[in-house]
Amino acid sequence: MLYDDTSTLSCNLPGLPGGGRRATPANRPAGANSFPSQLESTLRRLRASRLRFSVMRLRLSRTSVGNPTAAEKLAAHMADPHVLVGLWPDCSVVGAFFGPRAVGSAGDQVQVRQIVERCRRAMIETGKADLMSQSYLLIAHRWTDEVFDLPALINALDLAEEIAA
C-alpha cells in the first residue's frame, strides 16, 4: 500500500494487484452514465456539510473491461445505506463511503481496511474471486466541500496509481 501527500491510496494488495486496460467509448455500457451524475449530485448536496468521505475505484481485469456484468454484480453487492456505489463509464466500480468514521488519519486507515475487505468479500461472494489477482483498488479521502470536479477526482486516482508504479 502506498500513501502520497494528497491522502490518495493506491492498493497493490495480495489478491488485488495487477492491471487492466481502460474501456474505449465503443464498449462502454449505455446505462453506466447515470451513476456519475448521481454521485456528483449527492456530493453537491453535501458540500455545505463538510463531511469526510472516501472514494474508491475498483478497476477490474482486462477480461472484464468493457463487459459491465461483473462490475454490475460487484457494485450491487457492495451497496448499503452509507455507500453510494455504481459503474463509472469505463466499467470500473466506483464507490463513495459516507458512513461514520473516526477523526483524522486513523479514521482514514480504518476506512481503507473496511473498503479493501468489502471489495474482497464482494468478489468472493459474487463468484468473481478469479478477478482479484488482475484488478486495482484505488482509494482517496476528501472533504465534500473540496470536491468540485468529480471526474478529475476519479482520474486523479489513476494518476496516483501511475505515479506509484
Whether 51 contacts 98, CB under 8 Å: yes
| pTM of structure | 0.75
Cα separation, 59 vs 135, in Å, equals 6
Q: What is the pLDDT of residues 52-91, one digit of tens each?
A: 999 999 988 765 555 568 888 899 999 888 899 999 888 8
Whole-angstrom distance, CA of residue 9 vs CA of residue 150: 17
C-alpha cell at 78: 457492495
Identify whether the C-beta of residue 1 lies closer than 8 Å to the C-beta of residue 13: yes
Residue 156 CB partners (closer than 8 Å, separation 6+): 6, 8, 140
Q: Which domains does the chain have, with CATH numbers?
A: 2-18+34-164 (3.30.70)
Residue 28: per-residue pLDDT:
41
Closest-CA residue to 56 (of 117, 101, 106)? 117
Beta strands in 12-76 (DSSP E): 52-59
Q: What is the pLDDT of residues 133-148, one digit of tens each?
A: 888 899 999 999 988 8
Q: Cα(108)–Cα(140) distance, rounded to whole angstroms?
A: 9
